[in-house]
Structure 1
């Protein structure tokens, strides 16, 4: 009987310790440490990206519904040309290892594959609208988030905690509320000619977007934003031109150009250009997964615009969906995602100083401090040795 009591006491003590630890953590909780200016800035910038996506959706819908223009490759080409003119030109002006010739000499094939992935991700999701419904696209497009988490865990060594999985589930519940509001409002639009093919294209697009975003996060955090955008603009322009000539010659010949059509093309290209230019900044502040969670509100912004522009029926569930997604986003970013530092590649990458876009070293101060410490240690050793002798 005494032995049983002795066996139970450690178990009771451990339970009490856990309860005490939970109480201590709850008492030490400081909202100012969670709701920081960095989190607010990340949230606002993420919603700005969602607004840009809304701009591309509205301009594309006007082109398709009012002017019967359906040329996704031509629209994407304009964006890649703007990226090429801006950022590839900046790479041409660089000297040393950051020069475009050096980049092409060492890793041209990587950026070729990345440009192909990015172009096809944009094309397949637009193509899916011809075969499946809007509801299916909204639901299956969320597949990008779990794929991103798996790729980040494998490639970037990101380690998620339980709170991050809960936050993702909250965001997906918000998307479910949005889809439910669409069904209640009778907005299950789109074709049903080949639902299986359309759903497959959406899943393919989500997977390609995930690959592109993980590569983007790695590049902007270890190399530079200008290099990523310059190379994607260069290879995206080449690939989009070839694909447009092959697939959209007939559609381009039937376009009846006017100032309204030109204005809508310009609006789409500028929104996409702003999205591509600003997304690496948000990813560097947070992560690819966090950025895509914030982009889940883009469909809601498009719906709010559609209420005024296309006479959509409004539902209160849209506001509920927006609030739920924002709660999930804040919850995800409230706790940092640790990186597995035992991986030698990640450890060496984090310890070495990376070159900034301006050409200076980010960790120059830390490196100088290490040098000073080493010099002090050497001088102390030398003086100790002299005193001993």
Structure 2
């Protein structure tokens, strides 16, 4: 009786070995796609922004709970003043088309609208906490993400794939898990004085945030980071200063100032200044939508710090929520969005490149034609 010969190279592999090889191949492909250097860098930058937002939340909560200071417009005003002193002054000393006066002459009304959107977005979301529940704020604040995606589609010509919608859904599922953890931990005691008004404030604020972020992405990618921050600093200071005198002058007058309160104001302003300064860099490298998905973890960081600072109850759902949000964020960043180029025109649009740039472009075309003729 002859012995069975061993399987040769061309012989079919057992089913278990084939399945194991397929799973290893799939894991390698996922690792090479989801954990690239660019994605890891984007994750790190996004979480840095989340920590800045966490810093503003913690300092604001300390001011409100321990010192009974509720002045969101004053806090924003200090941040806009810092932006003005740094970035607006930089534009004032620039030469050529990047000069502050040249920018104001051409686009002053556009940046006024941007300043209104940015200031009121900050004010409305913070104000909403006085009227509605934490659950409503956390859930309805996510309304800004689909608004942002829609605006990016029409204004920035961003084109999404199925994986992007799946990733956004995963992130929103993570937010729902976080809200569920809050309810189970008993952080929803206050039902608010006017829930409907508070919910409207959140929806308006998140929509204005989306408008501001889309404008930010357009300016930092087409023009410059300094121009965006300089203009926001200029008009944000003016608008928030006027609104400050109207709505918060009594609250400011009642503050019993000491070094601890002043230090909390400074800490808040520095966190906001870092957030505004670094966000354009991250948006330029990625997109406004991916940044907004990344900073969904900011509430979770605030909760983690609140375990030690404010005596919050821990829930394992917080860890699950953080994991789900990060998974959705990684999925979104794993596949870049496509940009649909707008229909080309034979004559460059003056509103898109500016009169000076149009003249420069025509001059370059003339020189190229002349050199070819020679």
TM superposition score category, shorter chain reference: 0.7 to 0.9
- 1:275-326 Cα distance to aligned partner (Å, 9 max, x none): 0000000000100000000010000000000000000000000000000000
- State the secondary structure of the residue aligned to 1:344: coil
Give runs of aligned pairs for residues 185-264 of structure 1, distance below 5 A: 185-264=185-264
Q: Compute the displacement of 1:190 (Å).
A: 3.9
Q: Aligned partners of 2:343, 2:314: CA distance in 1, in Å?
A: 50
Please say if 1:147 is aligned against 2:147: yes
Q: Aligned partners of 1:353, 1:118: CA distance in 2, in Å?
A: 24
Could you tell me which runs of 5 or more consecutive residues in structure 2 were left unpaired when the two chains were aligned: 1-24, 355-363
Q: Aligned partners of 2:82, 2:102: CA distance in 1, in Å?
A: 22
Q: Compute the displacement of 1:31 (Å).
A: 3.6
Q: Aligned partners of 1:344, 1:322: CA distance in 2, in Å?
A: 44
Q: Hey, what does 1:133 align to over in structure 2?
A: 133
- 1:116-170 Cα distance to aligned partner (Å, 9 max, x none): 1100000001110111000110000001100000000011010001000000000
Q: Aligned partners of 1:127, 1:135: CA distance in 2, in Å?
A: 15
Q: Compute the displacement of 1:188 (Å).
A: 1.1
Change (3 A) 1:33 1:166: closer
Q: 2:34, 2:330 within 8 Å by CA — same for their partners in 1?
A: no
Q: Compute the displacement of 1:37 (Å).
A: 1.2
Q: Aligned partners of 2:70, 2:88: CA distance in 1, in Å?
A: 28
Could you tell me which runs of 5 or more consecutive residues in structure 1 were left unpaired when the two chains were aligned: 1-24, 355-367, 383-389
Q: How many residues align?
A: 337
- Which portions of structure 1, spanning 4 or more consecutive aligned residues, are displaced by more than 3 angstroms? 25-31, 342-345
Q: Aligned partners of 1:34, 1:327: CA distance in 2, in Å?
A: 10
- 1:187-232 Cα distance to aligned partner (Å, 9 max, x none): 1144421111100100000000000000000000000000000000
Q: Compute the displacement of 1:28 (Å).
A: 9.9
Q: Hey, what does 2:285 align to over in structure 1?
A: 285
Q: Aligned partners of 2:121, 2:217: CA distance in 1, in Å?
A: 17
Q: 1:59, 1:264 within 8 Å by CA — same for their partners in 2?
A: yes
Q: Hey, what does 2:17 align to over in structure 1?
A: none
Q: 2:34, 2:331 within 8 Å by CA — same for their partners in 1?
A: no
Q: Compute the displacement of 1:84 (Å).
A: 0.2
Q: Hey, what does 2:104 align to over in structure 1?
A: 104
Q: Compute the displacement of 1:341 (Å).
A: 1.6
Change (3 A) 1:348 1:33: farther
Q: Compute the displacement of 1:26 (Å).
A: 6.8
Q: Hey, what does 1:177 align to over in structure 2?
A: 177
Give runs of aligned pairs for residues 21-40 of structure 1, distance below 5 A: 29=29, 31-40=31-40
Q: Compute the displacement of 1:35 (Å).
A: 2.4
Q: Hey, what does 1:305 align to over in structure 2?
A: 305
- 1:72-128 Cα distance to aligned partner (Å, 9 max, x none): 110000000000000001001100000000000000000011001100000001110
Please say if 1:343 is aligned against 2:343: yes
Q: Aligned partners of 1:34, 1:299: CA distance in 2, in Å?
A: 24
Give runs of aligned pairs for residues 76-115 of structure 1, distance below 5 A: 76-115=76-115
Q: 2:157, 2:342 within 8 Å by CA — same for their partners in 1?
A: no
Q: Hey, what does 2:12 align to over in structure 1?
A: none
Q: Aligned partners of 1:286, 1:226: CA distance in 2, in Å?
A: 18
Change (3 A) 1:42 1:62: same
